[in-house]
């Protein structure tokens, strides 16, 4: 890779460099012909925007990681709808003094995240801006009976998480603060940093969920991803469904090394409000939840139940903590 910056090669030059990341039969026109949803499947679409200095920073995120995370955020939204990906478009705006290699590494990271799902970058736009902004739109497909919505939770449903929370926020702290977590061994450290830099969208969970459901009559499914924090996801589901929840603190899976790294207050703040773990929060009938957690989805757990009323209460059966109400407002909010 050379030391060229974007200004040296211009718009046409950038587009030419980026074409190798896209299927050659798709790009090069005013618009792209996309893979159609298969017969009987619904088309699903989601958009996420990442801004330099707001969502990522050179201190903690390489170009590859920015690309990976931008794609992961979108694929996670598709997973939360129960859908599998068909393709993405990329709207990229950036200053002329950005290195060409940075942009190529950005696309490299996007491609790596897309690769396991055979999902193409089908098009996009590149333009000038004072600040690097990556806007990704992802398309997926889902069978109508498998659509998952935030608004379908029912009183008595078990609340299931598909993995640990807090890992991404701890990984970020390890990158920001050299004094933090000095006693961690290399494997633990790198696992937590990976959780921040290379989060995996939980598309792998969907076939397992459908297997758990196979013997059931179809019911409307409930899910949201935890990109804005676990507490936010539960609170959003409850608001959209007009219900409340009780969550058991002890039941929430967290990284095993987390309690020894910082104060209990910090631990729970990161677990509940840290965000960007990109797990799914599902509400399932109790028997279905048991089957799903025990037989199919290793690492997942039932963390609570949907209740009537509207409050989301975090309980502690060990008596160490007082009951706490979870709210939307403590999660990450722009502006």
* CB of 127 or CB of 325, closer to its own copies: 127
Among 3, 53, 185, 322, binds its own copies (CB under 8 A): 53
Around 29, how many Cα atoms within 13 Å sit in the side-chain half-sphere?
9
Let me know: does 189 contact 181? Beta carbons within 8 Å.
yes
Annotated ligand binding at 65? The verdict is no
Q: In the complex with its own copies, which residue's Cβ is closer, 96 or 287? A: 96
Q: Is 8 left (phi over 0), alpha (psi -120 to 50) or beta?
A: alpha
Q: Is residue 101 close enough to count as binding its own copies by CB under 8 A?
A: no
Span from 132-140, 157-165, 211-219, 310-318 in contact with its own copies (CB under 8 A): 132-140
Binding to its own copies by residue 272, rule CB under 8 A?
no
Contact 273, 327 (CB under 8 A): no
Q: What six digits make up the tokens of 84? A: 């599998």
How big is the site for its own copies, counted in residues (CB under 8 A)?
Answer: 73
| 145 is a site residue for its own copies (CB under 8 A) | no
Q: Is 318 helix (H, G, I), strand (E, B) or coil?
A: coil
| Among 149, 154, 189, 315, contact with its own copies (rule: CB under 8 A) | 149
Q: Which stretch binds its own copies (CB under 8 A): 59-67, 127-135, 244-252, 317-325?
A: 127-135
**1 and 103 in contact (C-beta within 8 Å)?**
no
Among 19, 36, 260, 327, binds its own copies (CB under 8 A): 36
Rg (alpha carbons) of the chain, rounded to whole number: 21
For 293, the token pair is: 């957690």
DSSP 8-class letter at 144: G
Give the Cα separation of 28 and 15 in Å (integer): 9
Residue closer to its own copies by CB (options 92, 258) is: 92
> Which of 23, 27, 34, 60 contacts its own copies by CB under 8 A?
34
Type and span of the H or E element at 95: none
22 counts as binding its own copies under rule CB under 8 A: no
Q: Which residues are annotated as a binding site for Mg(2+)?
A: 30, 46-48, 77, 125, 225, 228
């Amino acid at each position: 890779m050379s030391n060229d910056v974007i200004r040296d090669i211009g718009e046409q030059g950038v587009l030419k460099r980026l074409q190798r990341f896209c299927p050659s039969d798709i790009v090069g026109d005013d618009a792209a012909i996309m893979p159609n949803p298969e017969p009987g499947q619904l088309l699903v679409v989601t958009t996420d925007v990442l801004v330099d200095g707001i969502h990522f920073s050179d201190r903690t995120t390489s170009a590859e990681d920015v690309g990976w995370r931008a794609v992961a955020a979108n694929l996670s939204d598709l997973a939360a709808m129960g859908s599998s990906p068909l393709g993405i478009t990329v709207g990229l705006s950036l200053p002329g003094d950005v290195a060409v290699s940075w942009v190529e590494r950005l696309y490299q990271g996007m491609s790596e995240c897309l690769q396991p799902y055979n999902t193409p970058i089908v098009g996009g736009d590149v333009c000038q801006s004072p600040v690097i902004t990556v806007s990704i739109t992802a398309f997926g497909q889902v069978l109508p009976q498998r659509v998952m919505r935030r608004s379908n939770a029912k009183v008595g449903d078990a609340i299931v998480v598909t993995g640990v929370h807090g890992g991404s926020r701890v990984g970020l702290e390890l990158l920001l603060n050299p004094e933090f977590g000095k006693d961690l061994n290399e494997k633990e450290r790198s696992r937590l940093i990976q959780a921040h830099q290379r989060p995996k969208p939980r598309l792998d969970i969907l076939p397992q969920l459908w297997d758990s459901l196979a013997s059931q009559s179809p019911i409307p499914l409930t899910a949201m991803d935890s990109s804005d924090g676990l507490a936010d996801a539960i609170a959003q589901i409850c608001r959209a469904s007009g219900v409340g929840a009780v969550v058991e603190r002890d039941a929430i899976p967290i990284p095993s090394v987390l309690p020894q790294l910082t104060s209990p207050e910090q631990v729970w703040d990161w677990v509940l409000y840290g965000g960007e773990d990109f797990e799914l929060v599902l509400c399932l009938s109790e028997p279905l939840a048991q089957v799903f957690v025990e037989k199919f989805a290793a690492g997942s757990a039932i963390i609570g139940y949907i209740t009537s009323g509207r409050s989301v209460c975090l309980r502690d059966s060990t008596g160490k903590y007082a009951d706490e109400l979870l709210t939307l407002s403590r999660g990450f909010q722009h502006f």
